[in-house]
Amino acid sequence: MSKKSLTFLQFDSPWIFDPGTVRLPSPPTGLTTEEASRRLKEGQLAQPYILETDSERRLHFTHCSIQSVMNLDAPDALITPYTRKMMAFLLFNPQPKSIVMVGLGGGSLAKFCYRHLRKTQITVVEIDARVVALRDEFSVPVDDARFRIVCDDGAYYISQLSDPVDVILVDAFDPIGLAPTLAGSDFYLQAAQRLSPRGVLVMNFSGDTNRYATHIRGIRAAFGRSTRLVPVASDDNLLLFAFGRRVPQPTTARYESRAQRLQTRFELEFPRYLRRICQGYTLTRTHAAPKD
Protein backbone atom coordinates (compact mmCIF):
# COMPACT_ATOMS: atom_id res chain seq x y z
CA MET A 1 0.00 0.00 0.00
CA SER A 2 1.76 3.14 -1.18
CA LYS A 3 1.56 6.50 0.46
CA LYS A 4 -0.14 7.98 -2.64
CA SER A 5 -2.96 5.44 -2.57
CA LEU A 6 -3.79 5.95 1.11
CA THR A 7 -7.18 7.59 1.61
CA PHE A 8 -9.40 7.75 4.69
CA LEU A 9 -13.07 7.31 5.45
CA GLN A 10 -13.80 9.53 8.46
CA PHE A 11 -16.73 9.37 10.89
CA ASP A 12 -17.60 9.85 14.55
CA SER A 13 -16.69 7.09 17.00
CA PRO A 14 -19.59 4.63 17.38
CA TRP A 15 -18.74 4.14 21.08
CA ILE A 16 -20.52 6.53 23.47
CA PHE A 17 -17.91 6.12 26.20
CA ASP A 18 -14.94 6.35 23.83
CA PRO A 19 -15.64 9.48 21.76
CA GLY A 20 -13.47 10.79 18.97
CA THR A 21 -13.07 10.57 15.22
CA VAL A 22 -12.47 7.28 13.43
CA ARG A 23 -10.24 7.39 10.37
CA LEU A 24 -10.43 4.21 8.33
CA PRO A 25 -7.55 3.92 5.83
CA SER A 26 -8.22 2.74 2.27
CA PRO A 27 -11.79 1.59 2.92
CA PRO A 28 -13.50 -0.93 0.63
CA THR A 29 -15.01 0.66 -2.47
CA GLY A 30 -18.56 1.85 -1.89
CA LEU A 31 -18.46 1.53 1.89
CA THR A 32 -20.54 4.29 3.49
CA THR A 33 -19.74 5.92 6.80
CA GLU A 34 -22.91 4.45 8.32
CA GLU A 35 -22.04 0.92 7.25
CA ALA A 36 -18.39 1.34 8.31
CA SER A 37 -19.49 2.56 11.73
CA ARG A 38 -21.82 -0.40 12.16
CA ARG A 39 -19.22 -2.94 11.07
CA LEU A 40 -16.59 -1.40 13.29
CA LYS A 41 -18.85 -1.47 16.34
CA GLU A 42 -19.74 -5.11 15.69
CA GLY A 43 -16.12 -6.13 15.15
CA GLN A 44 -16.59 -6.94 11.47
CA LEU A 45 -13.85 -4.72 10.01
CA ALA A 46 -10.61 -6.66 10.00
CA GLN A 47 -8.14 -3.87 9.33
CA PRO A 48 -6.11 -1.30 11.27
CA TYR A 49 -7.75 2.06 11.89
CA ILE A 50 -7.14 5.32 13.75
CA LEU A 51 -9.22 6.74 16.59
CA GLU A 52 -8.36 10.37 17.25
CA THR A 53 -9.29 12.92 19.91
CA ASP A 54 -8.16 16.50 20.46
CA SER A 55 -5.13 15.30 22.39
CA GLU A 56 -4.16 11.84 21.12
CA ARG A 57 -4.13 9.52 18.15
CA ARG A 58 -4.50 5.75 18.64
CA LEU A 59 -3.88 2.82 16.33
CA HIS A 60 -6.41 0.02 16.73
CA PHE A 61 -6.85 -3.45 15.29
CA THR A 62 -10.18 -3.73 17.12
CA HIS A 63 -11.83 -1.51 19.70
CA CYS A 64 -10.34 -3.65 22.49
CA SER A 65 -6.97 -4.01 20.77
CA ILE A 66 -5.07 -0.72 21.03
CA GLN A 67 -1.72 -1.04 19.28
CA SER A 68 -0.29 2.41 19.97
CA VAL A 69 -1.05 5.80 21.51
CA MET A 70 0.49 9.09 20.38
CA ASN A 71 0.20 12.42 22.17
CA LEU A 72 -0.45 14.97 19.42
CA ASP A 73 1.53 17.65 21.28
CA ALA A 74 4.49 15.33 21.95
CA PRO A 75 4.54 12.69 19.18
CA ASP A 76 7.87 11.18 20.29
CA ALA A 77 6.83 10.64 23.91
CA LEU A 78 6.25 7.17 25.34
CA ILE A 79 2.65 7.27 26.57
CA THR A 80 1.92 3.71 27.69
CA PRO A 81 3.76 2.40 30.78
CA TYR A 82 4.88 -0.84 29.13
CA THR A 83 6.77 1.03 26.38
CA ARG A 84 8.57 3.10 28.99
CA LYS A 85 9.58 0.00 30.93
CA MET A 86 10.80 -1.74 27.76
CA MET A 87 13.50 0.94 27.60
CA ALA A 88 15.03 -0.74 30.66
CA PHE A 89 17.30 -2.61 28.25
CA LEU A 90 19.54 0.45 28.59
CA LEU A 91 20.38 -0.66 32.12
CA PHE A 92 22.29 -3.59 30.63
CA ASN A 93 23.53 -2.08 27.38
CA PRO A 94 23.46 1.73 27.67
CA GLN A 95 25.10 2.34 24.28
CA PRO A 96 23.72 -0.24 21.85
CA LYS A 97 25.17 -0.22 18.37
CA SER A 98 22.15 -1.92 16.86
CA ILE A 99 18.47 -2.44 17.66
CA VAL A 100 16.02 -4.65 15.79
CA MET A 101 12.35 -4.11 16.60
CA VAL A 102 9.81 -6.76 15.64
CA GLY A 103 6.46 -5.00 15.28
CA LEU A 104 5.93 -1.34 14.37
CA GLY A 105 2.44 -0.43 15.58
CA GLY A 106 2.33 3.34 15.78
CA GLY A 107 6.11 3.48 16.16
CA SER A 108 6.30 4.68 19.77
CA LEU A 109 9.51 2.83 20.63
CA ALA A 110 10.98 3.44 17.20
CA LYS A 111 10.50 7.20 17.46
CA PHE A 112 11.82 7.41 21.00
CA CYS A 113 14.95 5.41 20.21
CA TYR A 114 15.55 7.34 17.00
CA ARG A 115 15.37 10.63 18.85
CA HIS A 116 17.48 9.70 21.87
CA LEU A 117 19.93 7.03 20.64
CA ARG A 118 21.64 8.93 17.86
CA LYS A 119 24.55 6.49 17.42
CA THR A 120 22.37 3.40 17.15
CA GLN A 121 21.35 1.62 13.95
CA ILE A 122 17.61 0.91 14.20
CA THR A 123 15.69 -1.54 12.04
CA VAL A 124 11.95 -2.07 12.49
CA VAL A 125 10.40 -5.20 10.98
CA GLU A 126 6.63 -5.13 10.41
CA ILE A 127 4.75 -7.89 8.60
CA ASP A 128 1.57 -5.89 7.85
CA ALA A 129 1.92 -3.43 4.97
CA ARG A 130 -1.27 -1.68 6.13
CA VAL A 131 0.48 -0.76 9.40
CA VAL A 132 3.60 0.44 7.59
CA ALA A 133 1.41 2.62 5.36
CA LEU A 134 0.26 4.56 8.43
CA ARG A 135 3.78 5.58 9.49
CA ASP A 136 3.31 9.23 8.49
CA GLU A 137 0.09 9.46 10.52
CA PHE A 138 2.15 8.61 13.62
CA SER A 139 5.14 10.82 12.77
CA VAL A 140 7.49 7.87 12.27
CA PRO A 141 10.79 9.13 10.82
CA VAL A 142 11.61 8.55 7.18
CA ASP A 143 14.24 5.94 6.41
CA ASP A 144 17.79 7.24 6.54
CA ALA A 145 21.33 6.09 7.25
CA ARG A 146 20.54 4.92 10.78
CA PHE A 147 16.83 4.08 10.63
CA ARG A 148 14.70 1.91 8.37
CA ILE A 149 11.43 -0.01 8.31
CA VAL A 150 11.34 -3.39 6.60
CA CYS A 151 8.00 -4.95 5.62
CA ASP A 152 8.75 -8.61 6.32
CA ASP A 153 8.12 -11.46 8.71
CA GLY A 154 10.13 -10.80 11.87
CA ALA A 155 11.09 -14.44 12.39
CA TYR A 156 12.43 -14.73 8.85
CA TYR A 157 14.28 -11.42 9.07
CA ILE A 158 16.05 -12.40 12.30
CA SER A 159 17.04 -15.77 10.81
CA GLN A 160 18.78 -14.02 7.91
CA LEU A 161 20.97 -11.73 10.02
CA SER A 162 24.70 -12.35 9.90
CA ASP A 163 25.90 -9.66 12.32
CA PRO A 164 25.17 -9.76 16.06
CA VAL A 165 22.44 -7.51 17.45
CA ASP A 166 22.69 -5.64 20.76
CA VAL A 167 18.96 -5.26 21.40
CA ILE A 168 15.86 -7.05 20.07
CA LEU A 169 12.50 -5.51 21.02
CA VAL A 170 9.46 -7.68 20.32
CA ASP A 171 6.06 -5.98 20.34
CA ALA A 172 4.22 -7.98 17.70
CA PHE A 173 0.47 -8.64 17.79
CA ASP A 174 -2.57 -9.50 15.75
CA PRO A 175 -6.11 -8.46 16.81
CA ILE A 176 -6.24 -11.28 19.39
CA GLY A 177 -2.83 -11.16 20.99
CA LEU A 178 0.79 -12.27 20.54
CA ALA A 179 1.76 -12.89 16.92
CA PRO A 180 1.44 -16.67 16.44
CA THR A 181 4.07 -16.72 13.68
CA LEU A 182 6.80 -16.16 16.27
CA ALA A 183 5.80 -19.18 18.34
CA GLY A 184 5.27 -21.29 15.23
CA SER A 185 8.92 -21.00 14.14
CA ASP A 186 12.40 -21.18 15.64
CA PHE A 187 12.33 -17.41 16.14
CA TYR A 188 13.49 -17.49 19.76
CA LEU A 189 16.41 -19.82 19.07
CA GLN A 190 17.43 -17.61 16.15
CA ALA A 191 17.15 -14.49 18.29
CA ALA A 192 19.26 -16.04 21.08
CA GLN A 193 21.96 -16.98 18.58
CA ARG A 194 22.10 -13.51 17.10
CA LEU A 195 22.25 -11.48 20.30
CA SER A 196 25.64 -10.04 21.08
CA PRO A 197 27.31 -11.16 24.35
CA ARG A 198 25.83 -8.12 26.13
CA GLY A 199 22.64 -8.34 24.14
CA VAL A 200 19.12 -8.05 25.54
CA LEU A 201 15.78 -9.19 24.16
CA VAL A 202 12.68 -7.50 25.59
CA MET A 203 9.25 -8.83 24.69
CA ASN A 204 5.81 -7.48 25.50
CA PHE A 205 3.13 -10.01 26.49
CA SER A 206 -0.50 -8.91 26.25
CA GLY A 207 -3.83 -9.97 24.81
CA ASP A 208 -5.15 -13.56 24.91
CA THR A 209 -3.24 -15.31 27.70
CA ASN A 210 -3.95 -18.70 26.11
CA ARG A 211 -1.26 -17.83 23.58
CA TYR A 212 1.43 -17.28 26.19
CA ALA A 213 2.37 -20.92 26.78
CA THR A 214 3.76 -21.69 23.32
CA HIS A 215 5.85 -18.52 23.32
CA ILE A 216 7.15 -19.21 26.81
CA ARG A 217 8.18 -22.74 25.84
CA GLY A 218 10.13 -21.35 22.91
CA ILE A 219 11.83 -18.68 25.02
CA ARG A 220 12.71 -21.17 27.76
CA ALA A 221 14.25 -23.54 25.20
CA ALA A 222 16.29 -20.71 23.67
CA PHE A 223 17.42 -18.79 26.76
CA GLY A 224 17.10 -21.21 29.66
CA ARG A 225 17.22 -19.38 32.96
CA SER A 226 18.72 -16.22 31.41
CA THR A 227 15.38 -14.47 31.72
CA ARG A 228 13.38 -12.18 33.95
CA LEU A 229 9.59 -11.83 33.86
CA VAL A 230 8.37 -8.41 34.99
CA PRO A 231 4.71 -7.30 35.13
CA VAL A 232 3.39 -3.87 34.19
CA ALA A 233 0.34 -3.71 36.43
CA SER A 234 -1.09 -0.44 35.10
CA ASP A 235 -1.13 -1.86 31.55
CA ASP A 236 -1.97 -5.46 32.47
CA ASN A 237 1.10 -6.45 30.46
CA LEU A 238 4.07 -8.69 31.16
CA LEU A 239 7.59 -7.93 29.96
CA LEU A 240 10.12 -10.63 29.33
CA PHE A 241 13.82 -9.74 29.53
CA ALA A 242 16.17 -12.34 28.05
CA PHE A 243 19.94 -12.03 27.91
CA GLY A 244 22.67 -13.11 25.52
CA ARG A 245 24.61 -14.55 28.44
CA ARG A 246 23.57 -15.32 32.00
CA VAL A 247 21.25 -12.89 33.75
CA PRO A 248 23.19 -9.88 35.07
CA GLN A 249 23.05 -9.25 38.79
CA PRO A 250 21.88 -5.63 38.84
CA THR A 251 21.94 -5.26 42.62
CA THR A 252 25.26 -3.46 42.63
CA ALA A 253 26.16 0.18 43.13
CA ARG A 254 27.26 0.26 39.49
CA TYR A 255 23.75 -0.51 38.22
CA GLU A 256 22.12 1.82 40.71
CA SER A 257 24.39 4.65 39.59
CA ARG A 258 23.63 3.86 35.94
CA ALA A 259 19.89 3.89 36.67
CA GLN A 260 20.17 7.37 38.16
CA ARG A 261 22.10 8.66 35.16
CA LEU A 262 19.60 7.16 32.73
CA GLN A 263 16.72 8.68 34.65
CA THR A 264 18.27 12.12 34.35
CA ARG A 265 18.96 11.68 30.65
CA PHE A 266 15.66 10.13 29.52
CA GLU A 267 13.23 11.28 32.25
CA LEU A 268 12.10 7.68 32.74
CA GLU A 269 11.93 5.81 36.06
CA PHE A 270 15.02 3.64 35.63
CA PRO A 271 15.66 3.14 39.38
CA ARG A 272 12.17 1.67 39.72
CA TYR A 273 12.64 -0.46 36.61
CA LEU A 274 15.86 -1.77 38.10
CA ARG A 275 14.12 -2.77 41.33
CA ARG A 276 11.34 -4.55 39.45
CA ILE A 277 13.77 -6.49 37.28
CA CYS A 278 15.70 -7.53 40.39
CA GLN A 279 12.42 -8.80 41.86
CA GLY A 280 11.35 -10.55 38.65
CA TYR A 281 11.30 -14.28 38.16
CA THR A 282 12.80 -16.62 35.62
CA LEU A 283 10.45 -18.56 33.40
CA THR A 284 11.19 -21.74 35.34
CA ARG A 285 9.29 -20.43 38.36
CA THR A 286 5.58 -20.82 38.76
CA HIS A 287 4.58 -18.04 41.12
CA ALA A 288 3.80 -14.51 40.04
CA ALA A 289 6.30 -11.68 40.02
CA PRO A 290 5.69 -8.63 42.22
CA LYS A 291 3.57 -5.89 40.69
CA ASP A 292 4.37 -2.22 40.21
CATH number of the domain enclosing 98: 3.40.50.150
Positive or negative: CA dihedral 214, 287, 235, 247: negative
Residues 221 and 156 in one domain: yes
Question: Looking at the domain assignment, is residue 284 inside a domain?
Answer: no
- Domain end among 49, 71, 93: 71
The model's pLDDT over 101-133, given as tens digits with 9 standing for 90+, comes to 999 999 999 999 999 999 999 999 999 999 999
Question: Looking at the domain assignment, is residue 161 inside a domain?
Answer: yes
Residues 91 and 22 in one domain: no
Question: Looking at the domain assignment, is residue 2 inside a domain?
Answer: no
**Quick check: helix, strand or coil at residue 122?**
strand
Question: Looking at the domain assignment, is residue 120 inside a domain?
Answer: yes
Residues 95 and 146 in one domain: yes
Residues 48 and 153 in one domain: no
Give the number of domains in the chain: 2
Question: Looking at the domain assignment, is residue 31 inside a domain?
Answer: yes
The pTM of this model reads 0.93
Please count the other Cβ atoms lying within 10 Å of the Cβ belonging to residue 209: 11
Q: What is the pLDDT of residue 285?
A: 44
- Give me the active site residues, please: 171
The model's pLDDT over 148-162, given as tens digits with 9 standing for 90+, comes to 999 999 999 999 999
Strands of the 21-25 sheet, one edge to the other = 8-12, 21-25, 49-52, 56-62, 65-71
Question: Looking at the domain assignment, is residue 183 inside a domain?
Answer: yes
Query: Phi, psi (5° rounding) for residue 178?
Result: -55, 140
Question: Looking at the domain assignment, is residue 1 inside a domain?
Answer: no
Domain of residue 269 covers 81-279
Alpha helix segments (H runs only) across 141-252:
154-159, 180-183, 187-194, 212-223
Q: What is the pLDDT of residue 292?
A: 56
CA distance 87 to 205: 15
